[in-house]
Amino acid sequence: MNENGTAQDSTPTTPIDKVEPIGASDAPTTPIPLPATTVTSPADESALAGFWGALKHLPQYVRLTAEVVRDPRVPKQAKASLAVGGGYVASPLDLVPGFIPVAGQLDDLYVLLTALQLAVKLTPDDVMTPHLMKVGLSAADIDRDLAAIRRLVQVAVVKGLKLGGAAVTRAAAGITTFIRSRQAQRKEVAGE
C-alpha cells in the first residue's frame, strides 16, 4: 500500500533503454528461399496439355448435352445423370469454390464429363452414336478427357504437397533461427 491507501504494483520494471522493440528489425537476417514454381517436368506439361484438350472440347460437350436431353429415345436415367451434372455446375455450392482459379472450374468440368460418360453408357449405341458424331466426339474422347483431368489433379496435388512441405520446412527453420537470436539477445541484455 502506498500513502494514498491504494495497492502498489510490485512487478519489477525494466528501464526503457533496455527494452527491445519487436518489429521489422527482428526478422531473420538470412532470407528464406522460396521454391522454384516455374520449373515443370514433362509429366506436368503432358497433364496440362491433356487438360487444354479437354477444355477445347467444352463447346462440343455442351452441344452434346443439349442434343441428348432433347432426344425422347434417351433413357430417363441418362437424362437424370445430365441433370445432376448440370445442376452441380450451375449450383453456387461446390466441392471446390469457383473463385479458386483453375481448381474451381476443374471440378465442374470433371462432374459434367462424368455425367456425360454415364449418360453415354446408359444410352443404347444406336441412339447415342449419331449424337456423338453430330458434335464431332466419341465416347473415347470423353474417357480421355476425364483421364486428363485426373492426371492434372494428381500432378497439382503432388506438386502442391512438395511445395507446401518445403515452404513449411523453410519457415520452421527461419522461425527457429529468429527465436534463437532473440534468446541470445536477451541473454546479452541480462548480462549472462
Residue 3: its pLDDT value, please? 55
Give me the sign of the Cα torsion angle 71, 75, 79, 81: negative
When pLDDT is averaged across residues 99-120 and rounded to a whole number, the result is 83
* CB-CB contact of 91 with 132 (8 Å): no
Which residues of 27-97 form beta strands (DSSP E)? none
pLDDT tens for 24-73 read: 444 445 544 544 544 467 767 777 788 888 889 989 999 999 999 999 99
Ranges of each domain in the chain: 41-152
- Give the pLDDT of residue 161: 67
**Residue with the three cell numbers 522461425:** 175
pLDDT, greater one: 170 or 8: 170
pLDDT above 90: residue 173: no
Q: What percent of the chain has pLDDT over 70?
A: 68
| Residue 54: burial class (beta carbons within 10 Å; 0-12, 13-18, 19+) | buried
Is residue 115 within 8 A of residue 145, CB to CB? The reply is no
- How far apart are alpha carbons 10 and 170 in whole angstroms? 42
The mean pLDDT value of the chain amounts to: 77
